[in-house]
Amino acid sequence: MPNHNDKQRGLRSLVLKRADADFSSKQAKTVFMVFLAIVIAGALLFLNMYGRYNDRVLYEERLSQMGEVTTELFDGLDDIIDSKWHAVDTQVNYLCDESPQDVEALVSLMERQHRLANLGDEGTDIIMVDDKGRYYTQTGPKGSMQEMDHLLGNPERINYVTTTMTTNKTLMVFLERLEQPVRLSLGDGQDTKIVYAGLLCNMEELEPYFSCEAYDGANNVIVVDNDGSKLFSSNNSPIRGHNAFSVLKQMRYLHGSSFDKAAAELEANGVAYSNAVLDDEEYYYALSRMDSADWTLVFLVPARYVATNTVELVNTTVKLVMGFAFALVTACAVAIYIVLRAKQRQVLEIEHKNAEGLKRVNAELDTKNEELEFAVRDAQVARSQAEASNHAKSDFLANMSHDIRTPMNAIVGITNLIEHGTTSPEQLADYIQKIKLSSNHMLSLINDILDMSKIESDKVELQLVPVSLAEQINQVDNIIRAQALGRHHEFHIFVNDLRHEYLVADGVRLRQTILNLLSNAVKYTPDGGQVELSITELNSGDADYARLLFEVTDTGIGMDEEFLKYIFDPFSRAESSGTNKVQGTGLGMAIAKNIVELMGGSIEVESTPGKGSKFTVVLDLAIDKDASYDIGVERMLLVCGEQRLKRNVSMRCEEAGIVLDVAKSVEDACAGAAAHIADVILLAGCVDDPALGASIAALREAAGEDGPLVFCIDYALRGQVTQRVVAAGADGFVSRPFFLAELEGVVRRVYGSTATPTSDTSVLNGMRFLCAEDNQLNAEILSALLEMSGASCEVCPDGAAIVERFASVKPGEFDAILMDIQMPRMNGLEATRAIRMGANPFGAVIPIIAMTANAFSEDVRGSLEAGMTAHTSKPIDISLLEKTMEKLVAPPPPRSGGDS
């Protein structure tokens, strides 16, 4: 019986033999694949180079052939125009020889010459023009010329195209100035002078000369002036519009050509040729300046009619070459396959012998493998436990990194637009607002990162403050719409039966919940899908609360019933070919569920694989009864035929005490009396309407002088359409969904006010603050922001310095203290306690407002417990400071400046 070492040597020998056989087989296959790849690559390279060469040769041949054809055509047209000028010279000579004395004699002469020259057969009239711009034909006086500008400067020759001298014809006018004007008597002692004589020719005379037999009559000829304006064109011209040069500029050019190059060649040589695509049809065209008229001829022919014999020859050659190349590659592949097949049979015989030996060895290896499996399994368990911990941390950091990049990318993108673009004041204001919204969202995400451990340990506290639902949805819209546009999604936000815009809630948590749901919808919906956010106010059993239903619906990949059981567990993700490409950690749904339950609400999900998902959130939020609307609008007219928008606007106006009138169309609005008495007109669904300007003009005309403000309302980002609607005559743009707060902001911008249309004074105006700020840059920003609002401040570098300064402060010297928290020597909490307990009695009553980057609920509570009056987070928000000061102090009395 062989010992263990003999078995090992036998196994090694069998393995080496099989490895040699496998290597030989793989080596042969590799040689075949490499050779085949080289042959195919060489053939493709040859065909590519050959195709480029043929394309260049064909292009040059077509231009050459077209030059020969068009030269003959252009020369023929020039000859026709020359013949007209010769005829004009004849009429001038007859007129000078006859020198008629009155109008009757002139008309008689013209009638005779018209008959003798058989001009009637050609549809040509004789024309004479006097020094007062009146013209005469063989049929008598015709009145004044409408194109008097052509006579300015008394040019020697005049030619142009007109439609004003007949009712249904386009005429060519040829006029030549007389060397000696012919005086005519008009009777009653009046006379006039004939200064120009010439012909009126029917433009259709040129039609037979436009067709080219070389191209089977498929060409088009357009007569334009030197600016490209159409004077005449042959039938069925593919160039639409009044200006032919404008259409030529917009064509997609081939072979390195362009309209600018063609225009330069035309200017230099009087003729130019080019090749471009119009409406998916390739054309060759020629431009030629006429020698005998101030016109340019545009000759246009589809490429398929140019040099057809040459093209057919080249195409036949290409087919033959490709057929030969294919046959050559096929023959080589078949030969190599035969050789490899013989080699493979040898390898199979060797493998069969080796298989018998491996069977004996496998039985012994199975025993050893079982022993190794037990050892590996134990090691894998320990490793999996360690990796799970590290993986959870990595997933968390990756998810937060993605969420932070979302608003940061918005900030960087908008600042690039501001730096490199030309923006209107309205766009700039919109960009600044979006930067502020994205900055605030990024700040909230940083707070979420620091607060994550508290969410998992149920220690998160809600910060309930007054919030505007319009502002919350606007922030969500600006962030999500950019993501949706990047995926070509249709993204809509609908509001239904909303009666309360101003609520008391944790705005950061509310916004975070909606963003988590919408971000998932965008990420897990294939490109070109639909994502929708619907907000509905349901009936609430409590008059102090508003019950809101938030529904996020998408047409994404959906989820199966098994995964729905775990969707709200941390780090849960559905695994499929569609989701593996989506970055994320699976924390979003867990965070959303925790926040919703912390707010006392509920969250549910419905989903069907391949069709999409629907998340439903129901929240009861306190109504902010201190909020009020100050729009400055008493009556409003809505021009709209959509029931959803009518109902939404009606309910919002009812809450604000605004009288609303509704018209289904602009015509109805103009016909009624509502436009006369409205303060604001909302024109819906017309942003992309070509007749927008006419509609706005009609509304303003119906409203009369001192009419209302006119705003367009539609689903779009304000910064992208405001400039367009303002150019059409509107006063601004209101985004949908409709919120009164949005309308209030737009009205304020129109009137240039920060509060109401009749007031522009900040509540901070005239106030003076004592500030503690250890960062010099932050101190400069704070001082500048306060000065912009009409306030001033004195800055101390740390807590100890402000305590020392306050010891000598007199009552009325400062209105409030703005206190940083983290400072050297003495922090803000310690400084506040020192001021409140100090010897200066004013320290017990002066408002002290915390300003710090620590924005969690416990930080707010700690500030208030130290004796502070209010808390605001960094970066400082002037509008929030204004609201805080408005609640804390009355407007300051006039300050004394010597005599009181």
Distances from the Cα of 774 to the Cα of 173, 783, 799, 802, 863, angstroms: 84, 13, 9, 11, 18
- d(Cα 836, Cα 800) in Å, to the nearest integer? 14
- d(Cα 368, Cα 221) in Å, to the nearest integer? 90
- d(Cα 163, Cα 144) in Å, to the nearest integer? 14
Q: 474-513 burial, b for 16+ CB within 10 Å, e for fewer? A: bbbbbbbbbbbeeeebebbbbbbebebbbbbbbbbbbbbb
pLDDT at 530 over 90: yes
133-184, pLDDT tens digit by residue? 888 988 888 888 888 888 888 888 888 888 777 767 788 888 889 888 989 8
pLDDT at 62: 79
Six-digit token pair at 826?
């003495």
pLDDT at 402 over 60: no
Distances from the Cα of 35 to the Cα of 32, 42, 43, 322, 326, angstroms: 5, 11, 12, 19, 15
pLDDT at 554: 94
pLDDT at 583 over 50: no
- d(Cα 379, Cα 706) in Å, to the nearest integer? 85
266-291, pLDDT tens digit by residue? 888 888 988 898 888 888 888 888 87
Nearest alpha-carbon partner for 480 in 435, 539, 532, 431: 532
- One-letter amino acid at 175 equals L
Angle between helices 857-865 and 828-836 (to 10 degrees): 30
How is the beta sheet containing 768-772 ordered, strand by strand? 792-796, 768-772, 816-819, 848-852, 870-873
Beta strands 848-852; 816-819: pairing state: parallel
**What 3-state class would DSSP assign to 790?**
coil
How is the beta sheet containing 281-289 ordered, strand by strand? 230-233, 220-224, 296-302, 281-289, 271-278, 252-253
- d(Cα 486, Cα 49) in Å, to the nearest integer? 38
409-458, pLDDT tens digit by residue? 778 777 877 776 666 777 788 878 788 777 766 765 665 565 555 666 56
- Around Cβ 774, how many Cβ atoms within 10 Å? 19
- d(Cα 895, Cα 900) in Å, to the nearest integer? 9
pLDDT at 764 over 70: yes
Mean pLDDT of the chain: 80
Residue that is written with structure tokens 């054309």 in the block: 283
Helices (H), 673-760: 674-677, 692-703, 718-727, 740-751
- Residue 846 CA from chain centroid, whole number: 51
pLDDT at 615: 94
325-379, pLDDT tens digit by residue? 777 778 777 777 787 777 777 777 777 777 777 777 777 777 777 778 887 887 7
What is the arithmetic mean of pLDDT over 9-26?
A: 57
- Around Cβ 852, how many Cβ atoms within 10 Å? 20
Question: Rounded to the nearest 5°, which phi and psi values hold at 888?
Answer: -90, -40
Question: Rounded to the nearest 5°, which phi and psi values hold at 284?
Answer: -110, 135
pLDDT at 403: 63
CA 851, 852, 853, 855 dihedral sign is negative
Helix (H) or strand (E) holding 505: strand 502-505
**What 3-state class would DSSP assign to 760?**
coil
151 close to 133: Cβ distance less than 8 angstroms: yes
pLDDT at 849: 92
- The better pLDDT of the pair 638, 12 is held by 638
pLDDT at 579: 47
Nearest alpha-carbon partner for 203 in 234, 237, 171: 171
- Around Cβ 242, how many Cβ atoms within 10 Å? 10
Nearest alpha-carbon partner for 660 in 742, 730, 740: 740
- d(Cα 299, Cα 267) in Å, to the nearest integer? 17
- One-letter amino acid at 685 equals G
Name residue 460's beta-bridge partners.
none
pLDDT at 552: 95
pLDDT at 26: 67
- d(Cα 669, Cα 81) in Å, to the nearest integer? 56
Question: Rounded to the nearest 5°, which phi and psi values hold at 155?
Answer: -65, 155
pLDDT at 575: 52
**What 3-state class would DSSP assign to 253?**
strand
- d(Cα 263, Cα 272) in Å, to the nearest integer? 7
25 close to 343: Cβ distance less than 8 angstroms: yes
pLDDT at 788 over 50: yes
pLDDT band at 550 (very low <50, low <70, confident <90, very high): very high
Question: Rounded to the nearest 5°, which phi and psi values hold at 795?
Answer: -105, 130
pLDDT at 895: 35
- d(Cα 407, Cα 455) in Å, to the nearest integer? 22
- d(Cα 831, Cα 772) in Å, to the nearest integer? 9
Nearest alpha-carbon partner for 722 in 521, 468, 429, 495: 429
pTM of the model as a whole: 0.43
Nearest alpha-carbon partner for 587 in 387, 396, 391: 396
What is the arithmetic mean of pLDDT over 478-496?
A: 86
- One-letter amino acid at 11 equals L
333 CB burial (10 A radius; 0-12, 13-18, 19+)? middle
C-alpha angle 210-215-221 in degrees, rounded to nearest 5: 25
pLDDT at 546: 92
pLDDT at 800 over 90: yes
750 close to 730: Cβ distance less than 8 angstroms: no
Question: Rounded to the nearest 5°, which phi and psi values hold at 624?
Answer: -80, 95
Could you tell me where the beta strands, DSSP code E, fall in 188-269?
190-202, 220-224, 230-233, 252-253
- The better pLDDT of the pair 87, 718 is held by 87
- The better pLDDT of the pair 155, 308 is held by 155
806 close to 838: Cβ distance less than 8 angstroms: yes
What is the arithmetic mean of pLDDT over 220-236?
A: 81
The count of residues in the chain is: 900
560 secondary structure, DSSP code:
-
- The rounded percent of the chain whose pLDDT value lies above 90 is 13
- DSSP string for 815-860: SEEEE-SS-SSS-HHHHHHHHHTSS-GGGGTS-EEEEES--SHHHH
- The better pLDDT of the pair 206, 816 is held by 816
- Around Cβ 526, how many Cβ atoms within 10 Å? 12
690-746, pLDDT tens digit by residue? 888 888 888 888 888 778 889 998 887 766 788 888 888 888 888 888 888 888 888
pLDDT band at 899 (very low <50, low <70, confident <90, very high): very low
- One-letter amino acid at 671 equals A
pLDDT at 753: 41
62 close to 284: Cβ distance less than 8 angstroms: yes
pLDDT at 854 over 70: no
- d(Cα 234, Cα 207) in Å, to the nearest integer? 7
- d(Cα 80, Cα 210) in Å, to the nearest integer? 12
Q: Under 8 Å CB-to-CB from 652, ≥6 apart: which residues?
A: 498, 501, 738, 739, 740
pLDDT at 468 over 80: yes
- d(Cα 210, Cα 74) in Å, to the nearest integer? 9
Helix, strand, coil % in the chain, rounded to nearest 5: 50, 20, 30
Name residue 273's beta-bridge partners.
286
27-71, pLDDT tens digit by residue? 666 776 777 788 788 777 777 777 677 777 778 877 887 877 777
- The rounded percent of the chain whose pLDDT value lies above 70 is 84
- The better pLDDT of the pair 787, 715 is held by 787
- d(Cα 737, Cα 715) in Å, to the nearest integer? 7
Nearest alpha-carbon partner for 639 in 672, 673, 663, 661: 663
- One-letter amino acid at 96 equals C
